[in-house]
Amino acid sequence: MITTKRIGRAAAIDPFKRYQPEVSQPVRKPDVKEDSKALQAIKKVWRECGSIDSYDVLEAVERPYAKIFEHLKHLKYSAKDVERFSIALAEFQEEEGFAAKAGIFLSVLINHAKGKNFRVCTRHLDVKPDGLGAFNTKNVVIDGDVDYGVGKLMISGSITVNGNANVRAGFLMLGGTLTINGNSGHDTGYGMAAGKIYVNGNIFPRYGDCGFLYHKGELISSGPEATNVEEALGIALFSPSHVKVLAFLHACSII
């Protein structure tokens, strides 16, 4: 279990009301074909997984990740199927706990698909994903906003958010590069042990002090940086959580 300070959902409510909204950009929507076997298989797994405890995404994200991985690990699908599924998620967003499930489900899909480069869309969703990019090792472009913890425990690769990120973007990052082309809420980079975060919009004044955090091209925070995943886990997590998470990373073929 990842032991961290719990935050209430109330704290995640739009910290940027005083700022003007970002200029909207055209939404790139792929053609979602209902007869796609891969897409239908992914939807079937979504239903089989049932609900995800939102608290787990805050405190023990490895639990829902491992649960979804067990259902998905035998599927064959492409980066295009992942993109199509991100569009198809709109039909599930009335489900309880959708934000947590959507973010972790997409994270697992991306990490365990063939290929290195992925694109997902969230602009069309009324409920934005939590924890999207958890344990990420790929190069991911997100067209739209995200809620809590984008890039949480990210290991390598890159995540580019063409929109706003709510609270704790880059939470407990272990490596890689996170770029937010919109605004970023409070606790950006909180607990990160390695990696780089670039925020090109506005940033809430409370943020982490490890890794490297840039605001509009200027380095505004830096601290000790780990040189490998095991060391990064030791910095980011309370003992003995880092040992359990390291075992989980191997069990789920993430590293």
Q: pLDDT tens per residue, the chain (255 residues)?
A: 554 443 444 444 455 444 444 444 444 444 554 548 999 999 999 999 999 888 888 888 999 999 999 999 999 999 999 999 999 999 999 999 999 999 999 999 999 999 999 999 999 999 999 999 999 999 999 999 999 999 999 999 999 999 999 999 999 999 999 999 999 999 999 999 999 999 999 999 988 877 899 999 999 998 888 899 999 999 888 767 888 999 999 999 999
CA–CA dist 210, 195 (Å, integer):
9
Quick check: 202 and 217 in contact, CB under 8 A?
no
Task: Give me the residue spans of the domains in the chain.
Answer: 35-251
Q: What pLDDT is attached to residue 10?
A: 41
Q: What pLDDT is attached to residue 82?
A: 98
Q: What pLDDT is attached to residue 14?
A: 55
Q: What pLDDT is attached to residue 209?
A: 76
**Degrees to nearest 5, angle at CA 216 with 228 and 28:** 85
Quick check: 142 and 150 in contact, CB under 8 A?
yes
Q: What pLDDT is attached to residue 30?
A: 46
Distances (CA, A) of 58 to 13, 54, 150, 255: 16, 7, 12, 22
Q: What pLDDT is attached to residue 119?
A: 99
